[in-house]
Amino acid sequence: MKVFWVFSGQGAQKVGMGAGLYADNAAARRIFDIADQTLDWSVKELCFNGPVEKLTESRYCQPAIYTMSCAALEAFKLAYPEVRPLACAGLSLGEYAALYAGGAFSFEDGLRLVAKRGELMDEACRETDGAMASVLGGDEALVKEVCQNHDIDVANFNCPGQLVISGEKANVEQAIAALKEKRFRKIIPLQVAGAYHSRLMSGTGKKLQLLLEETPLQLPTVSVYHNYSAVSSKSLTELKENLAAQVAGSVRWEACVSKMIAAGGDAMIEFGPGNVLTGLLRRINSRVTGYNVNSVDSLVKLNLD
């Protein structure tokens, strides 16, 4: 079995995430404890007890999910020390946990970077009036055309038949109306703070680039497929450029997963809260087996034989 590892993105958070792992697994406990020592607020308190309103804010949500995902990974590595990934990837925020898994930076350095990323994205949301919507079914080229006509962007290419559009709220509303006229079967406005992965986040990308220059980084020891380019970096310069561009660029998740499968991956393990990526996998390639590690129970039930 050749496994590839993937990591949850923002939106998968829930109150109580990681509490069982913290109580029962020394490796996971260590990650949460380091997180609390690194930031000026308690990550484990927020993850385990909420409130959900605070856990939803990007500046808190992103470090919380990153920490929980890394804790799940370390718990898995303690149970399966011989299993190494063919490649890694993460959905948007999850790309940072994927880079940690690949050895690009320490947990602490990644956490500081993620915390600042969340703050910058919250700041951009307050300065703009953005919106997002999930578009299900229909022709991808037609969605791109409607986005272009209304000056918005395709934020996510998640799987066949599932795209997310993002941009100025008024323009997104007009695009939704245009798509309905073209008989798209289902369009769901998303409850988000702003227009993630759109041109409204371009200023955030520039600020993030400066932070990346100050963060100790090295090339991962395994291939980490970037959301922005859908390929792994060959240099540190390329890696930083991908991370900086990612916040305003499209998330090419379907391409990332397809390329890891093409490289030989025949099983996927999703680390972090929820099982969104496992669900997308079934739409991308139903022949590949998906597993989740997000609790003590999921780890106990995991069977990689």
Q: What is the CATH number for 141?
A: 3.30.70.250
Q: pLDDT for 22-34, tens place per residue?
A: 999 999 999 999 9
Sheet with 87-90, side-by-side order of all strands:
223-224, 87-90, 3-7, 267-271, 289-293
Domain that holds residue 167: 129-189
Q: Are residues 173 and 240 in the same domain?
A: no
Query: Could you write out the DSSP letters of every residue in 181-200?
Result: HTT-SEEEE---SS-TTSGG
How does the average pLDDT of the chain come out, rounded? 96
Q: Are residues 225 and 174 in the same domain?
A: no
Within-domain flag for 194: no
Does residue 197 have an active-site annotation?
A: yes
Instruction: Work out the end-to-end distance of the chain between its first and last CA atoms, rounded to an integer number of angstroms.
Output: 8
Paired tokens of 232: 């792994």
Domain boundary, last residue among 140, 156, 189:
189
Q: Are residues 113 and 216 in the same domain?
A: yes
Query: The domain spanning residue 220 has which CATH number?
Result: 3.40.366.10
Give the chain's domain count. 2
Which residue of the set 8, 150, 166, 197 is catalytic?
197
Does residue 150 have an active-site annotation?
A: no
- pLDDT surpasses 80 at 305: no
Q: Are residues 253 and 272 in the same domain?
A: yes
Q: Are residues 229 and 98 in the same domain?
A: yes
Question: Do 3 and 53 contact (CB within 8 A), yes or no?
Answer: no
Question: Do 248 and 202 contact (CB within 8 A), yes or no?
Answer: yes
Q: pLDDT for 121-179, tens place per residue?
A: 999 999 999 999 999 998 999 999 999 999 999 999 999 999 999 999 999 999 999 99
Q: Are residues 64 and 141 in the same domain?
A: no
Mean pLDDT of 76-105: 97
Q: Are residues 28 and 164 in the same domain?
A: no
Q: Are residues 234 and 95 in the same domain?
A: yes
Which residue of the set 92, 166, 223, 233 is catalytic?
92
